[in-house]
Structure 1
């Protein structure tokens, strides 16, 4: 059980952006401090980010020439649209999906086709047969599947996704922004023969705690890498971000320990939520949890605002529930959320004071 105690807050509690709640340790911070004082900021960064790509290649045992670095995962997605999507082209996603997919479809004038996830009592599913049927039926120019899935936390067998990718006529993007929090990744089952249409998207924003630096990367075929490099801006990742990313990749054990803590807190939070009347939390392989409630959305939003909690209130039209995606924070922060939920269920009119 999460401990029951009052959380002291100086500002709003932000659990809406799936950030890593833990600060970086002192050792890399000291390295970063020294780095900043030594960088020649009057010089442009390496346009190909070769040092960082070599670090990633060595760590992941993946060919350096098949790695592309971007200004966050969002820029990699934008590169993919630039390289492969013209106005009127079809793009296949799930519903729901990462909101950036929807935005890029609008910006590039793409025709977005969606596969509706199955929302069941205790799990959320994607019908792979329907995915294969949709690929054959609509002939998309780009397929975007996040795994672990955002915002539901659902996880698909990477082996199944890779087999599906081989049958796709277009770039098949597996967005693994949250994969460090999952039990397996596509790289765990990928052999040396990289499918020519495969693109695995990753980021240092989540598990590595570098959201403010904006560093994402694609692990793809050489064909896709060449196309992405052709369309990217010349100096897309600044020199500070490149160098700090190289520093942090040396702190693999810190990352793994923080991931372990977040997984533990996530699973305990799910247990706590599911003990409450009117709330249900779904299993998750990300650093966030999808929660449904039969409490009115407007009332729920009002209470959360009054209590100083920012969650991602999802606009999902599914089964008449109110849906929330809650980022996993520190123990006291999650405990505070549980207390607020409990106060709504047991004493909806009680005054709940933040110390």
Structure 2
């Protein structure tokens, strides 16, 4: 057995110290750590998907390799040609494809900190060198800082999230313009939570103005489809042509493609919960602002970032009472910070009660 272990091939040197991505998946009564939508898709959606499957999805055949029906539906919704839309298994796979096509060995990705923790991991898997710059003290990216960062690093690609995760703060469109105009590479705007923001059309409008901008979105948040793994991008047609070179064969299964089409058809019903979610977010924000010992940031996503003393003890105490949040307290720029997903009114009340008890 020892000899066999000794003959085990070594993982790539640049991945040897890499920890797999993943928030804890624990069986607790109130799970508010992964920014899922607390309400399932409406019955009309699940019924339509079941009908579509039973009516004759040819599951013994490969799916449409280019997801033409889904991309056409998304394109019509966004006022674009279908060849300017691409879809994959969640926005994470979209990012892997972008990094694989435009970054990789010998190229650099620029990120801003704090930001989405999966971005640097996905980049490293593609062999990309990652460089980071800090957001300002208010967790914002100014146009001046954006321009200075791309001029200093000259990356092949830069990725920013709006609203940002885990801060919840949208990116100034002028900062996106400054990134784009400050270098010759690709600018990726990750809009995973954009439907919950005050102006969800900002990134789409910038796409008409900036010729090297890519807007990435997901069905996992506002569309209530985290379990189906569907993401997409809006870009110029040459981006889609380049991604065809790196995508896996038949990468997007037939059921997910059908689900995406149905979601777009039933968009009003599928996204009807957004107003209630925003109402709960603002109620939670007000309650946290009124809680002694808590600093909280306003958010345009479905989560809130808060800072407390003894953050790890608070996290463990809440978990013991059945409430799971995300612990960021040991990460740079996020010392003492926890992030809570906006849940149902009942879940949010349970969280507030557990938090106040743990702070005593």
When normalised by structure 2's length, the TM-score is 0.87
Aligned length: 331
The aligned runs of 1:56-205 (5 Å cut-off) are 56-120=74-138, 124-158=139-173, 160-162=175-177, 164-184=179-199, 185-187=201-203, 189-190=205-206, 192=208, 195-205=210-220
1:308: which partner in 2? 322
**Residue equivalent to 2:36:** 19
What secondary structure does 1:118 align onto? coil
The separation in 1 between residues aligned to 2:203 and 2:141, in whole angstroms, is 21
Structure 1 residue ranges, 4+ long, deviating more than 4 angstroms after superposition: none
**Structure with greater contact order relative to length (CA < 8 Å, sep ≥ 6):** 1
Distance 1:252 1:162, change over 3 A: farther
User: What are the ranges of 5 or more consecutive residues in structure 1 without an aligned counterpart?
Assistant: 1-9, 349-355
Q: Is the 8 A contact 2:281 2:303 kept in 1?
A: yes
Q: Is the 8 A contact 1:262 1:287 kept in 2?
A: yes
Higher mean C-alpha displacement, 41-50 vs 157-166: 157-166
User: Secondary structure of the residue that 1:249 maps to in structure 2?
Assistant: helix
Q: 2:47 aligned with 1:30, yes or no? A: yes
User: Would the aligned equivalents of 1:45 and 1:237 in 2 still touch at CA under 8 Å?
Assistant: yes
**C-alpha displacement of 1:78:** 0.4
Deviation at 1:159, TM superposition (A): 5.0
CA contact (8 A) 1:213 1:241 kept: yes
> Match for residue 351 of structure 1?
none
Shift, 1:330, TM fit: 0.4
Structure 2 distance, partners of 1:63, 1:111, is 33
Counterpart position of 1:290: 305
Asked if residue 322 in structure 1 is aligned to residue 336 in structure 2, the reply is yes
Distance change >3 Å, CA 147–CA 104, structure 1 → 2: same
For residues 252 and 115 of structure 1, the distance between their equivalents in structure 2, rounded to whole angstroms, comes to: 37
Aligned equivalent of 2:225 = 210
RMSD: 1.8
In structure 1, which of residues 306, 315, 337 is the aligned counterpart of residue 351 of structure 2?
Answer: 337
SS of the residue 1:145 aligns to: strand
Q: 1:93, 1:143 within 8 Å by CA — same for their partners in 2?
A: yes
Deviation of the 1:36 alpha carbon: 1.9
